[in-house]
Amino acid sequence: MKGSHSPRAALLRALRSPYWWLAPAVLLLLILFVGGLGVGFAQSLNYFPLIGLNSPSLRAYTAILTDRGFWAALGLTLYIALTSTVAATALALGTAVALRANHRLNRWLTFIYQIPLPVPHLVAAAGIAMLLTQSGLAARVLYATGALERPDQFPALIFDRAHVGVILAYTWKEVPFIGLVILAVLKGVGQEYEEIAQTLGASAWQRFRYVLLPLLVPGIVATTVIVFAFLFGSFEIPLLLGQRYPGTLPVAAWRAYIDPDLARRPEAMAMGMIVTVIVVALLAVYRRLVRRAW
Amino acid sequence: MVKHLGEWCRRTVRRGLSMAIFGVLVSVLLGACATAPISAPTGNADSNADSNSADATAAVDTSVSAYADWDAVLAAADGATVNWFMWGGSDVINTHVDLRVGAPLLADYNITLNRVPIENTADAVNRVLNEKAAGREQGGAIDLIWINGENFHTLKQADLLYGPFTELLPNSALVDWEDPAVAFDFGVAVDGYESPWASFQFVMEYNADAVGDAPPQTWEDLRAWILANPGRFTYPAPPNHVGSAFVRQLFYWAAGDVTPFLGPFDEALYAEVAPQVWAYLNEIKPALWREGQTYPELAVMADLLANGEIDFAMEYDAARASNYINQGLYPPTIRTYVFTTGTVANVSYVAIPFNAANPAAAMVVANYLLSPDYQATMSRPDELGWMVAIDPARLSAEEQAVLEAVAQGPATLAPQTLRDAALPELAAEWVAIMNADWEENVLTAP
């Protein structure tokens, strides 16, 4: 028998097992994510002994689900996340295909294209606000050039019902993120498939639709999933640029969380739980749909 | 046979290792949970007399009773660091605290002041709560919190404050504790659990260029002005503290008197007054900025006034307009006024969490904030321009002269005008109900 079968060698092999490398990450995930989710879930069930809530109940959930404000907030959150994701994906696809050729000019353009990536969302929000409020830069320029009689004739794009400013800020931030992934896939794919299709008589649209797009779909799906989940759950930009009521779900959860009245904490946590469940469910449905279609 | 044995050994070892990994994970998790026992509900606020000093004595006794006198506090504070959690949204306040509080404390008391900026005082409250929930009875992250109102109420109610400590502070004698506006923080008895820093008063800010020199000083005139000038007025949405104060003062106006609000919540009075307030606010709603479809955040409202998008703003700080003019954030035509029926005033305090790592040093900071020299410096318009928290009558003639010599900013009302107009604040339970009902009756009303 070989030495490799001895217990000692097995031990050594087990120690070299790649699973060990996962341990720190798994630990962190378990403690921070599962632990945090657990505490949040307990509080959402009205279990918060620190302020005397000792008997779990579904009070917070029923209160939220029967409030018409919740459904308005849910609709708004879905609308913002969907619109921004679709707009950003379409723009990213177009720009990435345009930027794929390895010219010198394109290298410069790609660099400029990536600038929004490291800009924090809060800074993006501040920039959009300075540009687009009714006393912002755009309104002032139009007023100075005589295009507007009064600066406040500028359309309300910030704090508005349609949340145009929020969607613009998100789109600006997410286009390069999705675009970079698509660019990377494009570089890997190369031009050969399209050239073959061309020799077989495919038009430019057909080459894009039947050759390029199917190759890109896995990358697009992965990034849109990330972007959608992020946009659905983040609250800073809607808080800064959105209308006061109805606000998005994460903003409503945040407002309930910072309320000095601790009795509102279960509501905040319940909203957080609902956001989590909705995101997970929507993404599962989306992935299934995409897998079936392609 | 031998081969099978080897296979068996290998499998066993592998299984054992997996079990070991799993065991480590579980025990770490359990350990984390064990150090975070969910504590039983703490006693109610009434039992606050001396209950805090009994517990929290594991390593070093830092309870109030451990200090025989002020010298003992100074000795314990020597060389310590104070983590002061405070709202960090104002450069002026941040710089002032670093230069006018931090620097002298280091020079005179060898105390390092670490200003921790937070976006919202409730963040600090949450942190103390979480530390309590995690069983951290000593060595907490927070030594001092800039606090008042509901946040103080929350911590005091949960018995999470250090104290009562104000009697230990020598400068506490300069505070007029007989004044209900000082001894009660939004209707909650201070009971020595927080020490005053400065006092504040609500004022209306307006652009004299657009409004003229006679701003609408009654609530009736204000309504008439708003309806005659659509789109030029707004207020921050409660629960923002300024928007909430704006709405609160309408309750005083509608009731015609302040005193009925000072006790505990009165259902009958509220039911009678509230509909008048909601009617007023819904009447002006279509004439507000953006037709009342949205309400600005506090900082945004100042920008709107500065940019000429609206003609009024408001702030729970009589000196902000002058400060902003000096910094070039407001045009020089901004002025302030108070209503003929008065405006609300309150005191900002500092409090020490039950598990503060350095309560002695935190007390030295609180005492320093009450010193006549510091209070005079703080009230200068080129510093914070806030109103003093101490009673000028208790100062020496010299100190009083220094205080009186402090010049007023261009848009700040005279101290006497403000004092004459000052109205007391009401209990936090009223505020919470008004804020919630405003959302229901005004914000979400069609």
pLDDT of residue A267: 92
Question: Per residue of chain A (294 residues), what is the pLDDT tens digit?
Answer: 444 567 888 888 877 777 888 888 888 888 888 888 898 999 999 988 877 788 899 999 999 999 888 999 999 999 999 999 999 999 999 999 888 877 788 888 888 898 999 999 999 999 999 999 888 899 889 988 988 887 778 888 898 889 999 999 999 999 999 999 999 888 888 888 888 999 999 998 999 899 889 889 888 988 898 899 999 999 999 999 998 888 899 999 998 888 777 788 899 999 999 999 999 998 888 888 888 776
pLDDT of residue B420: 82
Residue B160 token pair:
């999470």
Q: Cβ(B288)–Cβ(B234) under 8 Å?
A: yes
Tell me the sheet residues that pair with B189: B184
Q: How many CB atoms lie within 10 A of CB B151?
A: 24
Looking at the predicted structure, is the pLDDT value of residue B230 above 90?
yes
Tell me the sheet residues that pair with A207: none
**Window 257-316 of B, Cβ < 8 Å to A:** 290, 293-297, 303-304, 307-309
What is the Cα–Cα distance from B295 to B291, expressed in whole angstroms? 10
B92 to chain A, minimum CA–CA distance in Å?
Answer: 21
Q: Output the pTM of the full model.
A: 0.73
pLDDT of residue B255: 93
Q: What is the complex's ipTM, to 2 decimals? A: 0.72
Find which of A259-263, B309-313, B316-320 is predicted with most confidence, using mean pLDDT: B309-313
Q: Which value, to the nearest 10 degrees, does the dihedral of the CA atoms of residues B14, B18, B19, B21 take? A: 140
pLDDT of residue A25: 86
Task: Please indicate whether, in this complex, the C-beta atoms of A7 and B13 are within 8 angstroms of each other.
Answer: yes
Instruction: Render pLDDT for B126-153 as a digit per residue (tens, 0 to 9).
Output: 999 999 988 999 999 999 999 988 899 8
What 8-state DSSP symbol labels residue A145?
T
Measure Cα distances from B61 to A246, B39, B54, B82, B369 in Å. Answer: 50, 22, 10, 17, 25
Higher pLDDT pick, B390 / B420: B390
What 8-state DSSP symbol labels residue B179?
S
What is the Cα–Cα distance from A70 to B24, expressed in whole angstroms? 42
Residue B202 token pair:
């609500």
Q: Which helix (H) or strand (E) holds A147?
A: none
Q: Which chain B positions have a beta carbon within 8 Å of A157's beta carbon?
A: none
What is the Cα–Cα distance from B54 to B70, expressed in whole angstroms? 20
Higher pLDDT pick, B89 / B71: B71
Residue A21 token pair:
């490398």
Looking at the predicted structure, is the pLDDT value of residue B5 above 90?
no
Task: Please indicate whether, in this complex, the C-beta atoms of A6 and B6 are within 8 angstroms of each other.
Answer: yes
Instruction: Render pLDDT for B159-191 as a digit per residue (tens, 0 to 9).
Output: 999 989 999 999 999 999 988 778 889 888 899
Task: Please indicate whether, in this complex, the C-beta atoms of B309 and A52 are within 8 angstroms of each other.
Answer: no
Tell me the sheet residues that pair with B204: B314, B337
Q: Which chain B positions have a beta carbon within 8 Å of A262's beta carbon?
A: 129, 154, 158
DSSP track, A184-213:
HHHHHH-SHHHHHHHHTT--HHHIIIIIIH
**B228 and A CB contact within 8 Å:** no
What is the Cα–Cα distance from B215 to B332, expressed in whole angstroms? 16
Residue B144 token pair:
């001092």
pLDDT of residue A33: 82
pLDDT band at residue B305, thresholds of 50, 70 and 90?
very high
Q: Which value, to the nearest 10 degrees, does the dihedral of the CA atoms of residues B26, B32, B38, B43 take? A: 160
What is the Cα–Cα distance from B290 to A159, expressed in whole angstroms? 9
Q: Cβ(B344)–Cβ(B245) under 8 Å?
A: yes
DSSP track, A60-76:
HHHHHHT-HHHHHHHHH
Residue with tokens 């279609």: A293
Q: Which chain A positions have a beta carbon within 8 Å of B281's beta carbon?
A: none
Q: Cβ(B168)–Cβ(B67) under 8 Å?
A: yes
Q: How many helices (H) and strands (E) does chain B have?
A: 19, 12
Task: Please indicate whether, in this complex, the C-beta atoms of A14 and B13 are within 8 angstroms of each other.
Answer: yes
**Which chain B residue has its CA at the smallest distance from A20's CA?**
B21
Backbone phi and psi for residue B195, each to the nearest 5 degrees, phi listed first? -120, 135
pLDDT of residue B144: 97
What is the Cα–Cα distance from B38 to B387, expressed in whole angstroms? 42
Instruction: Render pLDDT for B15-38 as a digit per residue (tens, 0 to 9).
Output: 544 444 444 444 444 344 333 333
